[in-house]
Structures are given as structure tokens and as C-alpha cells.
Amino acid sequence: MDTTISAYQRHKFIYNGLTDEAIYSAQLEGASTSRRVARQLLEQNREPRDLSERMIVNNYLAMENLQDLLGVKATPDFIKELHRTVTEGTLDIESDVGKIQSDQGDRVKVFGDSEQIIYVPPPARELSARMEALCDFINEPEPWMHPLLKAMVVHFMVGYDHYFADGNGRTARSLFYWMLLKAGFPAARFLVVSALLKEAPAQYARAFLNVEYDGGDLTYFLIYQLKILRRAVAQLEEYLADDRRQAAALKEGLKDRVELNNRQIDILLESRGEPERLWTAQMVADRFRVSRPSGYSDLNSLENMGLLRRGREGRRVVWRVVSGWEDWLQSVPKNGADG
């Protein structure tokens, strides 16, 4: 999949994948910010206003940094630092950030619907040794295990052991993506697993509990995760096909009217139905991995064509799509036509 799309599409899909995974992973852990507001938060690179937004920004930073950590070996310090990244500024007790639980009296427990305790993780005194064992499992090539299954086992173990007071799920999913990228699955950057987990969080929890109830048989969790991954791939393939269709239809509609590059086409496509969506030169640069002057040129050209209007928001120069731009395009005569 990674080799069948253009470099331009790859940058776009990586950005979308990282952004949506960061949002849904935070929502799965209790963040209440809507996807639309969360996308604006990340796209505009503004400071988080509350705990939910901080969780989303942290997740995005963690996901974005994974590509630079592929040469790193798994160590307890590495996992603790990953936890620090996803939880900084989000925990009730700030000293719990990046710290393995040590007080058994405050040990995390899993409760059912009627507040009964249905699962107690291993004792806190065992956690350091268990994390060391997990790192050995990640680093050792023998006995061989398919890297996808190995990443799923690690995902499970972080949730099962519950090394931290909070943020175990976010840490587990970040490790899962890191292991897939490290094993040579670059298209993992396009997938949004947490969106599917969020649709049925009870099934996610039940996959853990079934393993516990059946003497540690991981088959339940592996099958569940494989089903989720299959759906994530199917959704991605559908999104890729739909993206190509929309871009082709817009290009055909613009044929012989105006000349737009791929970035400008996506700016228009992503602004459909959102007249208040704003763009800045820096947003275009970040989204499409180009320079800021190139981002400015894209927006300025769209403004000159009458497709965007310029304004200000605070100190920033911003552009918004002109209402009715699609109807306007249809009324513009093709080059060489009468009138």
C-alpha cells in the first residue's frame, strides 16, 4: 500500500492518520473534544485550552515522533518517556508522569458496570521486573514471531500489567504503532485503529478480560485486534479510492478553466461544506510538507482566482473558501469558449 501511492498522497495520508489516531486515542481514554474542534486545534497549532485538548496534542506529538525512534531499542526508560509524552499535563498527580506505580494501596483496578472489581493488575512490586521482561521480549529476535502478532502481544501486556496510574492505553497503542513501523510496515502510519476501538470500547475491554478468564490465552485478544486491523485497512482503502474519485471529479470540473496543483485541489476539497474553515500558509506547509512561501503562494493564487477570501484572526493572515465557489466554477467559461 505504501508503494502504490504518490509521495504527495503519502504525506497527506500520514498527516490525516496521525491526526485522527491522536484524536480517537484520546477520546477512547475520556477526552470530550469533538473531532472537528480537535482537528482545528492541531491544524492551527494553538495552545490546548483544557485537559481533553492537552491529551490530543500529547498523542499527536507522540505519534509524530515515532518515526524518529525506530533505531531505538526498547528499554524501561524508553517506555516511561513515551508515557511522559502522552500524559504530560493530563494526570491528577503530576509526579505520576513517566513513573511506574509503586504504591499497592493506590493500585489501578478495573471496575464493571455496577462498580464491582472485575480485574486487578499484577502487584506493583512486580512491575519493574515485568517491564524489563517486556523489553527483552520486544528486543529479542528469537524465538521468531510475526511482527504484527508481536506488536499485539505488547499492546496487550501494557494494558494487562498497567504499569502507570493512568495513560496505559495511550502508551500501549503508541508502542503498537512504533513496533509496526520498526518492523517495516510504513503504511501503519495511515491507519486509525483507535477510531474502531472507540466504536465499541466494551469489546476492547472484554478482549482483555477473556484472556484473564481463560488462563492467559491470548487468542481472544489477537483475533479481536486482527479484526480491528482488517477493518482499519478496509476503511483506508475505501478512503483512498474516494479521495482519488473526488480529486479526479474536481480536476475534470476545473479542466480548461483554472490551473490548480494537488495541494490547492485538496484545500478546496477539504473546505467543502465548511465555509468557516480557515487556512494559513503555515498550515499548508505543515500539512503538505512544503515550505511556508509555497503554502502562501498556494493560498494567494486561490484568492486571485476568486476561490478564497483573505482575512485576519488576531495577528494571523487567514484564508477561507468563498461561499458558492463550486457554483461559480461551473459558470466560468472554458478557455476558448464564446463569451
Q: What is the pLDDT of residues 200-237, one digit of tens each?
A: 777 887 888 888 788 889 999 999 999 998 998 898 88
Q: What are the structural domains, with CATH classification, of the chain?
A: 7-235 (1.10.3290.10), 261-331 (1.10.10.10)
pLDDT of amino acid 213: 83
Residues 181, 173: Cα–Cα separation, whole Å: 13
The rounded mean pLDDT for the chain is: 85
DSSP code of 186? G
pLDDT of amino acid 110: 65
Band (337; pLDDT cuts 50, 70, 90): very low
Inform me whether the pLDDT recorded for 94 exceeds 80: yes
C-alpha cell recorded at residue 239: 478512503
Half-sphere CA count of 278, side-chain side, radius 13 A: 18
Higher-scoring residue by pLDDT: 32, 247: 32
**Which residue is listed with cell 520498526?**
182
Instruction: Name which of 73-77, 204-208, 215-219, 308-312 the model is least confident about.
Output: 204-208
Mean pLDDT of 300-329: 85
Beta partners for residue 318, in sequence order? 311
Inform me whether the pLDDT recorded for 165 exceeds 80: yes
pLDDT of amino acid 256: 64
Inform me whether the pLDDT recorded for 39 exceeds 90: no
Residues 183, 186: Cα–Cα separation, whole Å: 9
- 225 touches 152 (CB < 8 A): yes
Residues 65, 69: Cα–Cα separation, whole Å: 7
Within 10 angstroms of residue 325's Cβ, the number of other Cβ atoms is 18
Phi then psi for residue 113, to 5 deg, are: -65, -35
pLDDT in tens, 116-129: 666 778 899 999 99
Residues 26, 42: Cα–Cα separation, whole Å: 13
Inform me whether the pLDDT recorded for 185 exceeds 80: yes
Inform me whether the pLDDT recorded for 284 exceeds 80: yes
The Cα angle at residue 237 between residues 284 and 158, in degrees rounded to 5 = 85
Higher-scoring residue by pLDDT: 133, 333: 133
Interhelix angle 201-213/219-254, nearest 10 degrees: 160
pLDDT in tens, 134-159: 999 999 999 999 999 999 999 999 98
Mean pLDDT of 279-283: 91
Band (29; pLDDT cuts 50, 70, 90): confident
